Amino acid sequence: MTDPTAYFRAVFDRAAAAFSAVDRDYLVTVVAAAELLLDAISRGRRVFVFGNGGSAADAQHIAAELVGRFSQERPALPAIALSTNTALVTAWSNDKGYEDAFARELSALAQAGDVAWAISTSGNSPNVLRAAEAARAKEVQVLAFSARDGGALKALADHNVIIPTTRTDRAQELHLCIEHVICDAVEKTL
C-alpha cells in the first residue's frame, strides 16, 4: 500500500456507495422490517435470528440488543439466536446433519405470528434455507438479510434486505448498521 490515505478513502467511498444503494433501493424494506418486528413483539410474539459465521455473530448481537437493551432502559424483548444452543446444534449436526439444525430448533419453538430473521450473505446457505422453509410451514414471517442477488433465500422471505455487493465483508458491515437502526427504531417505538 503506497498511499494509506487514498486506500482508506477509496474503501470508505465504496462503503458510502453501497449505503446509498441500500437507501435508494431498500429503504422501504428496512422500514417494513422494523414494522414487522414491532407488530410481532407488540402482539407477544418472538423473534428468532440465525446465520452462519459472521452472520451467526450478528444473530447473537441482535438478540442481545433486543433482550438486553440497545440504548435505553426498557423491558426485555423476546428474541432468540438459534446458533447459541451449542448442545443442540452440535448434537443434531453430528447425528443428522448441519442442514437441518436451525430448522429443527425453529420447528420446536416457533409459532404462527413469530418472526424468523435469516442472515446469509450468499442467500444460499442450506441450513438457513431449511430454517426459512420450516418457518414458512409454521406461518412464521421470514425477514431475510443477504447480499449479491439474494440467492435462494430471496424467494423464501416475506421481506428482503439485499446489500448490492459481492463482498461478504461489505455486506456484513452494512447488515450490522441496518440491524442497529432497526433495533433502535423498535426500542424507541416500544
Output the nine-digit C-alpha cell for 137.
Answer: 410451514
| The predicted structure's pLDDT at residue 23 | 78
State how many domains the chain has.
1
Which residue positions in the chain have pLDDT lower than 50?
none
Q: How far, in Å, CA of 176 to CA of 10, rounded?
A: 21
Domain containing residue 167: CATH number: 3.40.50.10490
Residues of the domain holding 113: 4-189
82 DSSP 8-state letter: G
The helix (run of H) or strand (run of E) holding residue 32 is helix 4-42
- Give the closest residue to 67 by CA, choosing from 87, 46, 51, 84: 46
| The predicted structure's pLDDT at residue 69 | 94
| The predicted structure's pLDDT at residue 164 | 85
Output the nine-digit C-alpha cell for 112.
Answer: 404462527
| The predicted structure's pLDDT at residue 46 | 98
| The predicted structure's pLDDT at residue 114 | 98
Whether residue 92 contacts residue 100, with contact meaning beta carbons closer than 8 Å, is answered with: yes
* pTM, 2 dp: 0.93
| The predicted structure's pLDDT at residue 18 | 81
Query: What's at 113, amino acid-wise?
Result: G
Q: Dihedral through CA 100, CA 106, CA 108, CA 114, nearest 10?
A: -160
Whether residue 152 contacts residue 160, with contact meaning beta carbons closer than 8 Å, is answered with: no
